[in-house]
Amino acid sequence: MGTIPAILENSRPMVTNPNMSTQSLDSSQLRVTIDPASLGFLDTSELLQRPLSWIGQERAEAAARFGLGMMQPDYHLFVLGEAGSGRTSLLHQAMIDAAADQPVPADLCYLYNFIAPEKPLALHLPAGQGRELRQSLLQLAKSLPAEIAQCLSGQDFKLKSDHATKKFKTEATQAYTKLDKIAESLHFTIHREDEQIVFTFLDEKGEILMAENLLKLPKARRTEIEQAEQALHEAIVLYFDEFKRIEKEKNVTLAALQHRSVQPLLNLALKKIQDGLQKQERLKTYFEQMESEILDNLALFETNNADEEKRETELRQIFSRYQINLVVDNADLHGAPVIIEDNPSTCALFGSIDYQFEEGKLKTDFMRIRAGSLLKAHGGYLMLHLDDLLTDGQLWVKLRRFLRSKRLQIEEPGSALTSNTPVSLEPEAVDVDVKIILIGSRDEYYELEEIDPEFMRRFRVKVDFAGSFIASAETYQASSVFVAHACETAKLPHFSAAAVARLLEESHREVEDQKRQSAIFARTEMLVLESAALCSARHGRTVEVADISAALQARTLRHNYPDLRLQESIMEGEIAIALHGAEIGQLNALTQIDLGDHRFGTPVRLTARTFAGEDGILNIAREVDMSGPIHDKGMLILQNYLTGLFTHIAPLALSASIVFEQEYTSIEGDSASCAEFFVLLSSLAEAPLKQSIAVTGALNQYGEVLPVGGINDKIEGYFKLCEKMGLNGEQGVLIPHHNRQHLVLDYKIIEAVEKGLFAIYTMEHVTQGLELLTGCPAGLTEQSRSIGYSPDTVLGYAQRALLVFRRACQLTQHPKTEHRRLPSRAEK
């Protein structure tokens, strides 16, 4: 046989002190109290000169400063935290501070592309020069046509033009005279009619030879005339060739004369524009192409044009190309841009191209390109909210691509819109350097880490806003400064030191912790506004504690109808809750109901029945799918702990059922584990439980009581019911010992505790509560598990019942009338 191994020294110790008992909390332990004198001011108007700070968010502030100052790519910021924690406003201010030390980024313009008009060209200019260039080109479009027209109609140009025209006219006359002589030598007479030469043959008398007379001539003579006519035709062709040459030379000469006359004027105008701009090869090429096109269309500037309306239309069309589309104008910036995009649609974020109907068709041009927030934030910071991005799958895909390529291409609307557009635009893509600050929740952050790691790889800086922080004199001071600035911003009366102290106590209440404050300052700000409104209504100069109490009461009154209706149902007997006496297998458990806009606590009747059997503990709510996984987990822990208590008589011959009476909604959470243990032991040991004490607390497998949430709401909900039914000094609540620091209870409860009308007990181990509720010793000792529990204890009564159940089960399975025979040697 082997030996029983010794218990290791580091094994988990079992709580076996037979003298364990619950503790009744003193009124001083039920709430955090802040002395107004410790704040160091009479009212918040004294604090206006102090700056706002990142109250309790030192880690988040350090991360934000690092991320905003990190200029390397893919160091975008993901800001996670609860709404109302100041994550947006604080990051916005941090963005402004960081941007102030950054250079102003360049303007972005789009230019007409003379070679490929459907592909406008992007041009970056130093901040302010884009506006300057746009204004200069607008002025050029107004003044240049008149100046060119004046130049071409000037006396000097006319003299040179007339001289050149006269010269070519003389040459044309000489060519015609030469043709006329040839015609005369061939006995023809000629004259011009528009663009044709008309000729007739003359006879020997110098008279026109008529057709009928020509036919009467001898054949030889007719042949001579035909040959002469052919020679004249050849001479006419040569004449027209010569005439065209003369005309061409005249046009070239006149065009060259126009160029020489206009070019100095044009060069001077364009040079004046370029002198104030940064020297760029693209801009130089653009002005050269502009100059070339103007010189090629000088005819449109002549005011003696026959079709004046057509000339002006064509002229406007040409000069419309000589404008710039200043899509990003940073002339008024001081530092880098800071943009918050609250409506991040595809167009708002990435830019767009506008269209308009003309002659039944959609048309556009480079002047209708619009920049989005990403382009406007180039060189600076852009804040986005994740919830807004996730509503549009296409937008999310585009943003992922942009973060990967860091290049932005402004695209046209969908094909359905542009199906009848004759010309589409493809603006030149540009590199964009922008730091994105993405605001989201903690759950969204970790979900994206799992489902889209490629996207999250771009957000290397995590700015985690805490929901609460350790309270100290410094945080109280900083919170007081926040109240002062909130009053100043909203033009509200300031708060007295006592009122601020009450606000700070409510901050502890929000997180249910005497050592920590809430970091959700939006709630504090809301209470500031409501309290100040009541102060103004009574014409007070400063907000006092009474105003805050009234604001809290008014807020509760706006939301607590479900709570009041439930209490009325209990008082009217519709819901069975006993507040007096003692009952077996019955107890008031405490639960919290969260309706979103209002949370409150209420007691719920918990009952248990035990029988001889082998089914174990039956959770009725689970059997009908009304309990959640956490509650089911708590029940399994309870079952295992119960089994562990009676290992010396295991396996247990027990069937039991537990249910929350008159509960018709789903049940979740393990905060009723202790209450479930108590009703189960009460039923098993037939030990009555005090109905005046309500219970909450979770349980682990060793019987240790764990803290639960919503402790203040649960206690206050039960207290309100006891108060309405009549306090008698016996009522109270039993809560986990570790929930003491979470108590920030209403002053009414503190007053009742001081008067001995209500009690708050704590327990570290579940057997402590068992003794309080039954008035009997629990029976848990060092030797109890090995030799059994003392018969005059609760566990002893339960042990006796379990032995009875076992014998009953054994009799059922093997009745005394059954004769069993031993197996024979052969059968063995």
Is 90 exceeded by the pLDDT of residue 808? no
The alpha-helical segments, DSSP class H, found in 10-86 are 58-69
Give the pLDDT mean for 357-366.
80
Lowest mean pLDDT segment, chosen from 30-39, 235-244, 388-397: 235-244
Given this model, what pLDDT does residue 310 score? 79
- Burial pattern 787-816, b for ≥16 Cβ within 10 A else e, equals ebbbeebbbbbbbbbbeebbeebeeeeeee
pLDDT band for position 697 (cuts 50, 70, 90) = very high
> Closest Cα partner for 350 from 395, 382, 389?
395
What are residue 141's phi and psi, to 5 degrees? -65, -30
480 vs 215, more confident: 480
Given this model, what pLDDT does residue 208 score? 64
> Closest Cα partner for 324 from 119, 151, 108?
108
358 DSSP β-pair partners: 361
Given this model, what pLDDT does residue 184 score? 67
Token code pair at residue 797: 């009564």
Helix %, strand %, coil % for the chain, to 5? 50, 15, 35
Please check whether residue 778 is in contact with residue 793, taking contact to mean a CB–CB distance below 8 angstroms: yes
Distance CA 736, CA 590 (A): 12
> Closest Cα partner for 320 from 129, 132, 117?
117
Contacts of 307 (CB under 8 A, 6+ apart): none
Angle, helices 308-320/129-152, rounded to nearest 10 degrees: 150
Given this model, what pLDDT does residue 145 score? 84
Mean pLDDT, rounded, of the chain: 85
Residues constituting the chain = 828
* Single-letter amino acid code for the residue at 325: N
pTM for this prediction: 0.81
> Closest Cα partner for 480 from 43, 37, 19, 14?
43
Distance CA 111, CA 324 (A): 5
Is 50 exceeded by the pLDDT of residue 828? no
DSSP state of 333: -
What are residue 212's phi and psi, to 5 degrees? -70, -30
Is 70 exceeded by the pLDDT of residue 755? yes
The beta-strand segments (E) located in 194-312 are: 196-201
* Tens-digit pLDDT profile for residues 704-746: 999 999 999 999 999 999 999 999 999 999 999 999 999 999 9
Dmax (CA) of the chain: 171
Contacts of 565 (CB under 8 A, 6+ apart): none
Is 50 exceeded by the pLDDT of residue 818? no
The beta-strand segments (E) located in 187-234 are: 188-193, 196-201
Distance CA 766, CA 773 (A): 11
pLDDT band for position 494 (cuts 50, 70, 90) = very high
Please check whether residue 127 is in contact with residue 328, taking contact to mean a CB–CB distance below 8 angstroms: no
* Single-letter amino acid code for the residue at 305: N
Given this model, what pLDDT does residue 417 score? 46
Cis peptide before 413 (omega within 30 of 0): no
Please check whether residue 260 is in contact with residue 217, taking contact to mean a CB–CB distance below 8 angstroms: no
Distance CA 166, CA 375 (A): 59
pLDDT band for position 205 (cuts 50, 70, 90) = low
